[in-house]
Amino acid sequence: MKAQYLIRFDDICPTMEWRKWQTVERALIDNGVKPLLAVVPDNCDPELRAAPADPGFWQKVRDWQKLGWSIGLHGFQHCYVSASAGILGRNCYSEFAGLSESVQRDKLERALEIFRREGVRPEAWIAPAHSFDQVTVRLLASLGVNCISDGYSLRPYVSGEGMLWVPQQLGWFRRLPFGTWTVCLHTNAWSPRRIDRFREEVSAFRELTVGLDEIRRCYRNRSRSVSDKLFHNCYRAVRSLKTRVTTEAPCTSLLP
């Protein structure tokens, strides 16, 4: 099977850079691409305050979902309060990993309540900084969120607790021969040149893009394979060579 791509946008919140997003959104619609949008339920991160808050934000989110775009639960407040790297060992800071079950449950329930109040259906979990732990996974399953957009594998798979893991491996488009690849993008800091490049790339890759709904249909019964585990280990090793984590102790993965 040839390569397929899921396009994911992180840090979607009322104070995102809307002027840039309008051009990106138009390119997605014009090319018939259905992205996964990581929506912060109650943003309290000053780094994500790129523009005045849009009072019509939640109506936009509902409209995106009506278009067939998928909405992910991007943490709760996008504030890092822990130095734990969590399952993936990618960043040594987290909004969830390392916290007690009661604290994590409270955050998740409050985040989901905001979504319910606004009439938005959470279709995947997207952890800020890619950092969460097994407690987070267990709580998500108990609260009805059964998809995680993260991790490293060639294709999505369902874990023992019934969670669909959709891997997230890329920070930009790359031509690859096979596999399912999530391209994770952050638009707030994009220059006009980067926006133009995105318009070109999304047009070039549109025939290879898929939505989260299609991925669910294709992989809802696929278990994690030996090749998935090998890919996880190899891919993470390559990332470690490229990125030095500035902590006293290196981040470690808890994924077996």
pLDDT at 94 over 90: yes
Quote the strand ranges of the chain, DSSP E: 4-12, 36-39, 70-73, 124-125, 147-149, 157-158, 164-166, 180-185
How far is it, in rounded angstroms, from Cα 76 to Cα 114? 9
How far is it, in rounded angstroms, from Cα 237 to Cα 256? 15
Confidence of residue 166 (pLDDT cuts 50, 70, 90): very high
> Do the Cβ atoms of 13 and 128 come closer than 8 Å?
no
- Output the pLDDT for position 243: 56
Q: How many CB atoms lie within 10 A of CB 192?
A: 9
CA 232, 237, 238, 244 dihedral sign is positive
Give the model confidence (pLDDT) of 195-212 as tens digits.
Answer: 999 999 999 999 999 999
Give the model confidence (pLDDT) of 122-154 as tens digits.
Answer: 999 999 999 999 999 999 999 999 999 999 999
Structure tokens at 82: 């822990």
Average pLDDT, the chain: 93
Q: Are strands 157-158 and 164-166 parallel, antiparallel or unpaired?
A: antiparallel
Average pLDDT estimate for 214-235: 90
Q: What b/e readout covers 50-62, taking b as 16+ CB neighbours within 10 angstroms? A: beeeeeebbebbe
Percent of the chain whose predicted confidence (pLDDT) is above 90: 84
Give the model confidence (pLDDT) of 32-42 as tens digits.
Answer: 999 999 999 99
Question: What does pTM read for this prediction?
Answer: 0.92
